[in-house]
Chains A and B, each alone.
Chain A
Amino acid sequence: MNASTLPSKTASGSTRFADWEVIAVTVLALLAGWLIKNSVESRSVPFESSGISAQTPQGWLLTTAQGDEILHVTNLLSTGFGTTYIIQNIPIAADATVGQAVSLLSLQRGQALTAFRVLEQKQVTVFGQAAYELGYVYVESNPNLTHNEIPNVVRGLDYIFLNGDHAVIATFWADDKSFESDLGRFQRFLSSLKF
């Protein structure tokens, strides 16, 4: 095979310029795409209930809150388990410690969630506010027995804040595969949480 290269008269500065120009146009398109992605992901709608407010993601499915929940939103575009944010406002004894609130929450989670396992728990400061972080994992399975789907492994993160005679709990649930990538958006949601 006679595979000589392009003669110098055609592999000229203009060809190289065209190459760089194609790269530049592609980079510009990708930057514009990134801006659109960020703009879509930062679209939010205000939420307020029981003196607690936050900016919840726009376009997510708002589910009827149950029990102590005051907010329950789910991203229907998630693959596998739909990424979910929950806010709970649980009444506690006035002299209760955060440790007691965490124990109570762990117990409730253990009873309600299949294969619930705590991965880590620690005291943290969330945007200047003292909180307790509880990281865990559980398995979510469609209760409809006719659905032949493999159950999803879900990772959860609870932030427990003491607020007088209530504990405010901000929860993040996401499919194990998308937990890391969805965490940033949850942190933006957490930064908007006011009580």
Chain B
Amino acid sequence: MPDQVCCVCGDPASDLIGQRWFCGKHFQSAKRERPHTWRMSILLVVGLVVFVGIVYALDLVLHPALTGIGLVLAGVILALVPALLWLVFFYLQDRLEPEPKGYILGVFLLGALLASAVGIPLVENLYHVSKWIYTDTATTILGSILVVGFIQEFLKYAAVRFSVFPSAEFDEATDGVIYATAAGLGYATVLNLQFVIANGGVVLGSSVIRMAVVALAQASFAGITGYFLGRARFENKPWWWMSFGLSVAAVCNGLFNWLRGRIVQRGISLTGPTTNPWMGLALASVVALITLGMILWLIRRNIRTALAEKLELEK
């Protein structure tokens, strides 16, 4: 096939998967299933829950008397932990399936930058979401999807699509999930930092739960966008594919926010509403595991189907 070029690097192509041509090198990477990526995702969920448990227990036992700058610093450290945890797991698995760390860090920073420069100002200063979104259930669901969900998921999509997506380093469908997760964690880190700064520090016990929930949710929904991005890169998908993927991620994001609000709210007491943040963490962990598990299954199935079709054609 002299006319065909690899859809990753542009070199002469020799193999076909899912209507896209690959050179020998990128054919090998395109059919990899990367089990370590999924182990890393499960480790992130488990690691975050363990970290939350440790900080919560320390707060209960030691009652640290933090004030002023100490309180803010403790909050900033807590806000950075989910991303650092993921990066540590990523570094550990990276020895087996190398991915350029510069790109990962770049996409993470881009996600953070877009959250800070565009996402948060749009949600809080233009839409003033907190002032109207909780008016009634329908408004909460629609506002969470159409405003918060779409803004957050579009920015994570943009952080990947307009940076690493066209490069030769984006050489397999799973890369979409890895880079989008990095963008999602960048977004989550800024959301958590903003929460710390806006409150002039945070109460360690309950805040560490909130931060873990935000990180898990942002990483999971970014994973959905990343899955659609990954397949759009290596397959000829219909015109509606990517916008459908972004919409799915935005709907999941919005529904999660609504459901978390319902689950976390325990009741009303004389001193005001009482909450149970542990329920939010349980929900976020389950959602993260289900979402990432489904993406794993879909990518594996897709690779195996494409390879089976290729074998069928060769026969």
Q: Which residues of A contact B (CB under 8 A)?
A: 1-11, 14-15, 17-19, 21-26, 29-30, 32-34, 36-37, 40-41, 59, 75, 77-79, 178, 181-182
Asked whether B142 is an interface residue with its Cβ less than 8 Å from the other chain, the reply is yes
Among B165-173, B177-185, B187-195, B203-211, which stretch is in contact with chain A?
Answer: B165-173
For A21, list chain B residues within 8 Å (CB): 239-240, 242-243
The contact of B146 among A3, A17, A36, by CB within 8 Å, is A36
| CB-based contact A40/B246 at 8 Å | no
| CB-based contact A4/B9 at 8 Å | yes
Asked whether B232 is an interface residue with its Cβ less than 8 Å from the other chain, the reply is yes
Most chain A beta-carbon neighbours within 10 Å: one of B132, B135, B147, B168: B132
For B157, list chain A residues within 8 Å (CB): 22
Q: Which residue of A lies closest to B234 (CB)?
A: A10
| CB-based contact B132/A37 at 8 Å | yes
> A3-B169, A11-B166, A18-B242 in contact; A30/B151 too (CB < 8 A)?
yes
> A7-B6, A32-B146 in contact; A78/B131 too (CB < 8 A)?
yes
Q: Which residue of A lies closest to B200 (CB)?
A: A150
For B7, list chain A residues within 8 Å (CB): 6-7, 9-10
Asked whether B10 is an interface residue with its Cβ less than 8 Å from the other chain, the reply is yes
Chain B, 273-297, contact with A by CB distance < 8 Å: what is the 0/1 string? 0000000000000000000000000
| CB-based contact A29/B167 at 8 Å | no
The contact of A26 among B10, B150, B161, B236, by CB within 8 Å, is B150
Asked whether B38 is an interface residue with its Cβ less than 8 Å from the other chain, the reply is no
Could you say which interface size class chain B belongs to? 35 or more
| CB-based contact B150/A29 at 8 Å | yes
Tell me, in angstroms, the Cα distance from A21 to B246 when the chains sit together.
Answer: 11
Tell me, in angstroms, the Cα distance from A8 to B9 when the chains sit together.
Answer: 10
Q: Smallest CB–CB gap between B13 and chain A, Å? A: 9
| CB-based contact B134/A77 at 8 Å | yes
Tell me, in angstroms, the Cα distance from A166 to B233 when the chains sit together.
Answer: 72
| CB-based contact B232/A29 at 8 Å | no
| CB-based contact B5/A77 at 8 Å | no
For A10, list chain B residues within 8 Å (CB): 7, 20, 233
> A7-B10, A29-B146, A36-B139 in contact; A77/B243 too (CB < 8 A)?
no
The contact of A1 among B100, B232, B247, by CB within 8 Å, is B100
> A4-B168, A7-B9 in contact; A34/B242 too (CB < 8 A)?
no
| CB-based contact B168/A33 at 8 Å | no
| CB-based contact A25/B246 at 8 Å | yes
Q: Which residue of A lies closest to B125 (CB)?
A: A181
For B128, list chain A residues within 8 Å (CB): 37, 178, 181
* Nearest 4 CB-CB pairings of A with B: A7-B10, A33-B146, A33-B147, A6-B166
Q: Smallest CB–CB gap between A194 and chain B, Å? A: 26
For B236, list chain A residues within 8 Å (CB): 14
How many A-B contacts at CB < 8 Å in the complex? 112
| CB-based contact A18/B241 at 8 Å | yes
For A4, list chain B residues within 8 Å (CB): 9-10, 167-168
Tell me, in angstroms, the Cα distance from A79 to B130 when the chains sit together.
Answer: 8
Q: Which residue of A lies closest to B161 (CB)?
A: A19
Asked whether B56 is an interface residue with its Cβ less than 8 Å from the other chain, the reply is no
User: Can you report 5 residue pairs joining A to B where beta carbons are below 8 Å apart?
Assistant: A1-B100, A1-B102, A4-B167, A33-B150, A36-B146
Asked whether B91 is an interface residue with its Cβ less than 8 Å from the other chain, the reply is no
Tell me, in angstroms, the Cα distance from A3 to B164 when the chains sit together.
Answer: 9
Q: Smallest CB–CB gap between B273 and chain A, Å? A: 11
For B142, list chain A residues within 8 Å (CB): 32-33, 36
> A1-B100, A36-B139 in contact; A26/B246 too (CB < 8 A)?
yes
Most chain A beta-carbon neighbours within 10 Å: one of B168, B169, B233, B236: B168
| CB-based contact B146/A5 at 8 Å | no
- Which chain B residues in 121-141 approach chain A with CB under 8 Å? 125, 127-128, 130-132, 134-135, 139
Additional 16 contacts, C-beta under 8 A, given A3-B169, A7-B7, A22-B161: A1-B102, A14-B239, A17-B239, A18-B243, A24-B243, A25-B243, A25-B247, A30-B147, A32-B142, A34-B127, A37-B127, A37-B128, A37-B147, A178-B128, A181-B128, A182-B131
Tell me, in angstroms, the Cα distance from A123 to B244 when the chains sit together.
Answer: 55
Tell me, in angstroms, the Cα distance from A23 to B151 when the chains sit together.
Answer: 11
The contact of A37 among B9, B143, B250, by CB within 8 Å, is B143
For A33, list chain B residues within 8 Å (CB): 127, 142-143, 146-147, 150
- Which chain B residues in 90-138 approach chain A with CB under 8 Å? 100, 102-103, 125, 127-128, 130-132, 134-135
For A2, list chain B residues within 8 Å (CB): 9, 168-169
Tell me, in angstroms, the Cα distance from A1 to B105 when the chains sit together.
Answer: 15
